[in-house]
Amino acid sequence: MGKPTGFMEHPRRLPERRPVGVRLRDWHEVYEPFPEEEVCNQASRCMDCGIPFCHEGCPLGNLIPEWNDLVWRDDWFAASERLHATNNFPEVTGRLCPAPCEGSCVLGINAEPVTIERIEEEIAERAFAEGWVRPQAPQASTGKSVGIVGSGPSGLACAQQLARAGHSVVVYERAERPGGLMRYGIPEFKMEKHVIDRRLAQLRAEGVEIRCATSVGLPAPGPAGGTAADPEPGEARGMGSACAPGARVLSAEALLAEHDALVLALGSTVPRDLEVPGRGLRGVHFAMEYLKPSNLVREGVLSESPVSAAGKHVVIIGGGDTGADCLGTAHRQGAHSVHQLEIMERPPDERAPGNPWPTWPLVFRTSSAHEEGGERLYSVTASELVDGGDGAVAALRGHQVAMGNVEGRMVFEKVPGSDFELPCELVLLAMGFLGPERRGVVGELGLELDPRGNLSVGSGFETSRSGVFACGDAARGQSLIVWAIAEGRSCASGVDRWLMGETDLPGPIRPGQLALRASQ
């Protein structure tokens, strides 16, 4: 695939990032344009490797060597067709996916892997520019109706697949606009929202109806005629803002009666909380309490964010992608300083012996946000948030930790004499998510959960309630956007088979992965 000697002639290259001093003045995406000639050169690096392990690395099973070869041969239309055959939103994964395919690239055994993710984005952008992305209306209607709760990547992928199969599809979204975390969790500098809007136009043209400001699932009745909140950790505070102001509430039971099948693509939205003294002080927020208002400002819904880093000392707890999103946002809001805390050790610069190819490389990475400033601290944890005397946070106290093993379980032990204190007026908790909210639709339908607190589903993505399916982070747990799309596509196949007795819809998840998934 590609040019036989391409990997020897061309080194791995990516487009340049705009200068830090320039990009911090706006919210536009950070990368400069990538010349077409360079894209073709990068595609030519794809080897005739015999067994393309990138297929196994990609949850969608993207036909990577095929569209790399077609780009190198300047057949962009055919490359677009092969790319869209397995991926509903390549313009999104081309920007946001951490590219596990590149970690499995055969060239990566002893050299730098092919720039698969960037080529994917370039193909998708070329397809839109040339007008190749058109609605794919079904040939006939099945007369069946499917309701989908949640408009993130899994819900939208499932909706598009089912609409193309001829079903009537309605997507219910509790926020102001569709897109889920793609819209409200991802800052503009990583993906501008017109990228989502133009794809949504295609879905609507294919017959997908999207009803926003609509929350599904009634709260359970509580004592004395009230409602039983029964919140999970982190659910009582921070998640209410996920609903648009004045959002109407629909009964899940009524919705199930209205549709022939119901798909829950709720996401994993219960944030992991920080149980330390001072947690209740003002100025301590979950990441999504911070990121969503910032994105609403960019969309013109809010004039200013109620949670801003402007002029403040900021501490971000959590070293993952969400923490990096908070970091880049804080830079653009004019934070005085930013520290990002991570309890794990600093990853090595290269693969460790216990992390061989083709597994995902656990190595040190520098995102565009990290390049812009801030300090990362590893092997540390917070022990207390300090009150400044007015009920607002003024400092964070913490200490270094050392990883240990107790009966096969990882533990973190305090390093004596390692205590420290950081001044801060804003603390952002970006420590991951614990599963879907237990109230609302999950509680009303009485759905079973797996041992990790996610919705329990079978190989066909059906939950414990007949006719109710679940996919994406709600069933899998917090994961990658590429997995969300893959599960949405596979769930659509399961729903179509349940409704019609058979299906022609492709499902990218292979039987072995399904067995592994079901056992997790």
pLDDT score of 276 more than 90: yes
Q: What is the pLDDT of residue 50?
A: 86
Read off the tokens for 258: 């209205």
514 pLDDT more than 50? no
Task: Specify the residue for token string 């609903």.
Answer: 243
Residue 221: what pLDDT? 64
Beta-bridge mates of residue 79 = none
Q: Quick one: pLDDT at residue 226? A: 45
Q: Which residues contact 475 (CB under 8 A, 6 or more apart)?
A: 454, 455, 456, 457, 461, 487
Backbone angles phi, psi at 272, to 5 degrees: -70, 130
Angle at 360 between CA 183 and CA 330, to 5 degrees: 35
412-422 mean pLDDT: 96
- Distance from C-alpha of 370 to C-alpha of 325, rounded to nearest angstrom: 10
pLDDT digits (tens, 9 = 90+) for 74-107: 999 999 999 999 999 999 999 999 999 999 999 9
Count CB neighbours of 416 within 10 A: 9
pLDDT of residue 242: 79
pLDDT at position 513, please? Answer: 44
CA 42 – CA 57 distance, rounded (Å) = 19
Angle formed at CA 164 by CA 163 and CA 169, multiple of 5 degrees: 0
pLDDT of residue 519: 34
* Structural contact between residues 468 and 447, judged by C-beta atoms closer than 8 angstroms: yes
- Rounded distance, CA 362 to CA 119, Å? 23
3-state secondary structure 8-73: HHCCCCCCCECCHHHHCCCCCCCECCCCHHHHHHHHHCCCCCCCCHHHHHCCCCCCHHHHHHHHHC
Mean pLDDT over the full length of the chain? 92
| Residue keyed to tokens 């199930």 | 256
Label residue 325 by pLDDT band (50, 70, 90): very high
Length of the chain: 520
User: In percent, how much of the chain has pLDDT > 90?
Assistant: 87
Assess whether pLDDT exceeds 80 at residue 215. yes
Going by pLDDT thresholds of 50, 70 and 90, the confidence category of residue 515 is: very low
Q: What is the pLDDT, as a whole number, of residue 518?
A: 36
pLDDT given for residue 405 in this prediction: 86
Cis preceding linkage at 358, omega within 30: yes
The set of residues, in sequence order, having a beta carbon less than 8 Å from that of 215 and lying 6+ positions away, is 174, 243, 247, 248, 249, 250, 440
Residue 189, classified by CB atoms within 10 Å of its CB into exposed (0-12), middle (13-18) or buried (19+), is buried
For residue 222, pLDDT beyond 60 = no
Q: Which residues contact 199 (CB under 8 A, 6 or more apart)?
A: 89, 91, 92, 133, 156
* Distance from C-alpha of 483 to C-alpha of 253, rounded to nearest angstrom: 28
**Per-residue pLDDT for 516 more than 60?**
no
Between β-strands 393-406 and 420-423, what pairing exists: parallel, antiparallel or unpaired?
Answer: antiparallel
Read off the tokens for 179: 């897109």
Percent of the chain having pLDDT more than 70? 93
pLDDT category of residue 63 using cuts at 50, 70 and 90:
very high
pLDDT at position 234 over 90: no
* Cα→Cα distances 283→29, 289, 380, 386, 393, Å: 28, 11, 21, 11, 6
Residue 130 has pLDDT above 70, yes or no: yes
User: What sign does the CA torsion over 210, 211, 213, 218 have?
Assistant: negative
**Domain architecture of the chain: domains with CATH:** 6-129 (1.10.1060.10), 145-221+230-270+434-519 (3.50.50.60), 284-429 (3.50.50.60)
Among 24-38, 235-249, 253-267, 404-418, the minimum mean pLDDT is found in 235-249
Taking the mean position of all CA atoms in its chain, how far away is CA 174? 18
The secondary element (H helix, E strand) that includes residue 6 is helix 6-9
The residues facing 285 across adjacent strands are 428
